[in-house]
Amino acid sequence: MEFLWDFFVAPFLDMIEYPTFLGEVAISGLLTGVMYSLVALGFVLIFKASQVFNFAQGAMVLFAALTLVGLMEHGVPVWGALPVTAIVMVALAFAIERGMLRPLINQPPITLFMATIGLSFLLEGAGEWVWGSNVKALDLGIPSSPVDVAGMLLNEFDMIAALVAAVLVAALALLFQHTPMGRALRAVADDPQAALSLGISLRTIWIIVWSVAGIVAIVAGIMWGAKSGVQFSLSLIALKALPVLILGGLTSVPGAIVGGLIIGLGEKVAEVYWGPVIGGAIENWFAYMLAMLVLMFRPQGLFGEKIIERV
Amino acid sequence: MRAAMPAEARVGHPEPGEPMLSVEGIALRFGGVQALAGVEFTIYAGEICAIIGPNGAGKTSMLNVLNGAYQPSEGTITFKGRTRRKMHPRVAAMEGMARTFQNVALFKGMSTLDNVMAGRNLKMHSNFVACLLPVGPSRAEEARHRAYADEVISFLEIEDIRNVPVGRLPYGLQKRVELARALAAEPDLLLLDEPMTGMNRSEKAEMCRFVLETKARFGTTMALIEHDMSVVMELSDHIIVLDYGRKIADGTPEEVRNDQTVIDAYLGVATEDDA
Amino acid sequence: MIVLSYFNDLYGTFFATRSRTINTVFVTVISLLALFAVPTLANEYWLQAILIPFLVFALAALGLNLLTGFAGQLSLGTGGFMAVGAYAAFKMTTAWPEMDIIAIFFISGFFAAGVGILFGLPSLRIKGFYLAVATLAAQFFLIWLFNRVPWFYNDNPSGTITAPPRTFAGVMVTGPEAAAEVRYLVALVLLAVFVFFSWNLMRSRFGRAWMAVRDMDVAAEIVGIPLLRTKLLAFGVSSYLCGVAGALFVFLYLGSAETIAFDVNVSFLVLFMIIVGGLGSIAGSIIGAAFITILPIFLTNLNPILGIDLAVDIAKHIEVIIFGGLIIVILILEPHGIARLIAITRERLRI
- Residue C200 burial (CB count, 10 A): 21
Are residue A196 and residue A254 in the same domain, yes or no? no
Model pLDDT for residues A127-180, shown as the tens digit of each residue = 888 887 777 777 766 666 777 766 666 777 777 877 887 888 788 878 777 787
Cα–Cα distance list, B39 to A276, B22, B243, B252 (Å) = 62, 10, 11, 18
- Distance CA(A267)–CA(A289), nearest Å, equals 10
Model pLDDT for residues C201-211, shown as the tens digit of each residue: 999 999 999 99
Residue B11 covered by a domain: no
* Model confidence at C224: pLDDT above 80: yes
The total number of structural domains that make up chain A: 2
Strands, E assignment, chain C: 161-162, 166-168, 171-174, 256-257
Q: Are residues A252 and A233 in the same domain?
A: no
Query: pLDDT for B180-204, tens place per residue?
Result: 999 999 999 999 999 988 888 888 9
d(CA B14, CA B4): 22
Give me the pLDDT at residue B10, please: 45
Q: Please tell me whether residues A261 and A194 are part of one structural domain.
A: no
**CA B248/CA B265 separation, integer angstroms:** 9
Rounded Cα gap, residues C240 and C112, in angstroms: 5
Inform me whether the C-beta atom of residue C47 falls under 8 Å from chain A C-beta atoms.
no
Range of the domain at B176: 107-186
Among A12-16, B236-240, B254-258, the minimum mean pLDDT is found in: A12-16
**Residue-by-residue DSSP string for C197-220:** HHHHHHTSHHHHHHHHHHH-HHHH
Residue A268 domain flag: yes
Q: Euclidean distance between the first and final Cα of chain B, in Å? A: 41
Q: Are the beta carbons of C204 and B142 separated by less than 8 Å?
A: yes
Instruction: Give me chain B's average pLDDT, please.
Output: 87
Same domain, B118 and B240: no
Q: Does B105 touch chain C (CB under 8 A)?
A: yes
Q: Are C214 and C204 in contact (CB under 8 A)?
A: no
Quote the CA–CA distance of C173 and C187 in Å, as a whole number. 10
pLDDT of residue A308: 47
Q: Is the pTM of this model over 0.95?
A: no
Q: Would you list the domain boundaries of chain C?
A: 1-41, 46-262
Q: Does A241 touch chain C (CB under 8 A)?
A: no
Does residue B151 sit within a domain? yes
pLDDT above 50 for B1? no
Is A19 among the domain residues? no
Q: What is the mean pLDDT of residues C180-184?
A: 92
Kindly state whether residues A63 and A114 are assigned to the same domain.
yes
Q: How many domains does chain B have?
A: 2
Domain range spanning residue A172? 40-239
Please state, as a whole number, how many other Cβ atoms lie within 10 Å of the Cβ of residue B197. Answer: 16
Nearest residue to B119 via CA among B167, B182, B173 = B182
Q: Which of A239, A273, A303 is the last residue of a domain?
A: A239
- Cα separation, C130 vs C41, whole angstroms: 47
Contacts of A243 in chain C (CB under 8 A): 133, 136-137
Tell me the average pLDDT across B104-132: 93
Q: Find how far residue B121's CA is from the centre of its chain.
A: 17
Q: Final residue of a domain: which of B136, B154, B186?
A: B186
CA angle B13, B18, B23 (to 5 degrees): 90
- Whether B30 and chain C come into contact, CB under 8 Å, resolves to no
Last residue of a domain, one of A194, A212, A239: A239
Query: CA angle at residue C320 from C314 to C323, to 5 degrees?
Result: 140
Amino acid at A9: V
Q: Is residue B106 less than 8 Å (CB to CB) from chain C?
A: yes
Domain end point (choices B168, B186, B204): B186
Give the phi and the psi of residue A52 in degrees, each rounded to 5.
-95, 125
Q: Among B194, B158, B193, which Cα is nearest to B177's?
A: B158
Residue of chain B whose alpha carbon sits nearest to that of A309:
B69
Which of B235, B274, B215 shows the shortest CA–CA distance to B20? B215
Could you give the CA distance from residue A162 to residue A27 in angstroms, rounded to a whole number?
A: 11
Coil, strand or helix at B28: strand
Q: Same structural domain for residues A229 and A269?
A: no
Residue A7, in any domain of the structure:
no
DSSP output for chain A: -HHHIIIIIHHHHHHHH-HHHHHHHHHHHHHHHHHHHHHHHHHHHHHHHH----TTHHHHHHHHHHHHHHHHHTT--HHHHHHHHHHHHHHHHHHHIIIIITTTTTS-HHHHHHHHHHHHHHHHHHHHHHH-SS-B----S----EEEETTEEEEHHHHHHHHHHHHHHHHHHHHHHHSHHHHHHHHHHH-HHHHHHTT--HHHHHHHHHHHHHHHHHHHHHHHHHHH-BSTHHHHHHHTHHHHHHHH-TT-HHHHHHHHHHHHHHHHHIIIIIHHHHTS-THHHHHHHHHHHHHHH-TTTTTSPP-----
Has residue A311 got a pLDDT over 80?
A: no
Query: How far is the C-alpha of A248 from the C-alpha of A263, rounded, in Å?
Result: 10
Mean pLDDT in residue range B150-169: 93
8 Å CB contact between C184 and C55: yes
Partners of B81 in the β-ladder: none
Q: Domain for residue A35, yes or no?
A: no
Of residues C13 and A111, more confidence is placed in A111
Q: Say whether both B155 and B229 belong to one domain.
A: no
Out of C272, C321, C328, closest to residue A125 by CB: C321
Residue B6 reports pLDDT greater than 80: no
Contact C222 B92 (CB under 8 A): yes
Res B274: pLDDT: 42
pLDDT range class, residue B18, cuts 50, 70, 90: confident
Q: Are residues B46 and B26 in the same domain?
A: yes
Query: Is position B246 within any domain?
Result: yes
Least confident of A285-294, C6-15, C66-75: C6-15
ipTM greater than 0.85:
yes
Residue A15 lies in a domain: no
The mean per-residue pLDDT over the stretch B65-69 comes to 92
Q: How confident is the prediction for chain A on average, in pLDDT?
A: 81
> How far is residue A167's CA from residue A34's CA, in Å, rounded to a whole number?
12
Residue A310 confidence (pLDDT): 43
- With b for 16 or more beta-carbon neighbours within 10 A and e for fewer, the C131-146 pattern comes to bbbbbbbbbbbbbbbb
User: Are C343 and C14 in contact, with CB atoms under 8 Å apart?
Assistant: yes
Examine the pLDDT at C227 and tell me if it is beyond 90: yes
Q: Using CB atoms and an 8 Å cut-off, which of residues 66-105 of chain A contact chain C?
A: 99-100, 103-104
Q: Return d(Cα C286, Cα C4) in angstroms, integer.
A: 18
| Residues B78 and B208 reside in one and the same domain | yes
Q: B42 lies in a domain?
A: yes
How open is the CA angle A41-A43-A46, to the nearest 5 degrees?
110
Is residue A134 included in any domain, yes or no?
yes
Section C329-350 average pLDDT: 85
Is the minimum CB–CB distance between C212 and chain B shorter than 8 Å?
Answer: yes
- In terms of domains, do A196 and A262 share one? no
Q: What is the pLDDT of residue C2?
A: 39
Residue C18 has pLDDT above 80, yes or no: no
Task: Please indicate whether residue A179 or residue B60 has the higher confidence score (pLDDT).
Answer: B60
Choose the final residue of a domain: A184, A210, A239.
A239
A:252-311 residues touching chain B, CB 8 A cutoff: 311
Same domain? A232 vs A252: no
Are residues A250 and A234 part of one domain?
no
Cα angle B148-B149-B150, degrees, rounded to a multiple of 5: 90
Which of A47-61, A227-241, C187-201 has the largest mean confidence?
C187-201
Closest C-alpha to A31, from A221, A264, A233, A226 = A264
How buried is residue A139: exposed, middle or buried, by Cβ count under 10 Å (0-12/13-18/19+)?
Answer: exposed
Same domain, yes or no, for A281 and A135? no
Cα separation, C28 vs C4, whole angstroms:
8
In this structure, the answer to whether residues B180 and B204 fall within a common structural domain is no
Size of interface A-B (CB pairs under 8 A): 6
Taking alpha carbons only, the member of A59, A105, A19, A14 closest to residue A220 is A59
Chain segment C233-287, per-residue pLDDT in tens: 999 999 999 999 999 999 999 999 999 999 999 999 999 999 999 999 999 999 9
Q: Does C222 touch chain B (CB under 8 A)?
A: yes
**Which among B89, B109, B181 has the least Cβ separation from residue C221?**
B89
Q: Is residue A22 domain-resident?
A: no
**pLDDT value at residue C102:** 95
CA distance C151 to chain B (A): 34
pLDDT at C172 over 70: yes
Residues in Cβ contact with C165 at an 8 Å cutoff, skipping those fewer than 6 apart: C172, C174, C175, C176, C177, C178
User: Among B122, B156, B186, where does a domain finish?
Assistant: B186
CATH of residue B40's domain is 3.40.50.300
Q: Is residue A311 domain-resident?
A: yes
B101 at interface of C, judged by CB pairs closer than 8 A: yes
Question: Does B101 map to a domain?
Answer: no
Could you tell me which of C200, C190, C215 has the C-alpha nearest to residue C282? Answer: C200
pLDDT at A121: 92
Spatial contact of A122 and C325, defined as CB atoms under 8 Å apart:
yes
pLDDT value of position A28 = 81
Q: Are strands B33-44 and B48-52 parallel, antiparallel or unpaired?
A: unpaired
C257/C174 Cα distance (integer angstroms): 14
Q: What is the pLDDT of residues A51-107, one digit of tens each?
A: 888 889 889 999 999 999 889 888 888 888 999 999 999 999 999 999 999 898 888
- pLDDT mean over C189-203: 94
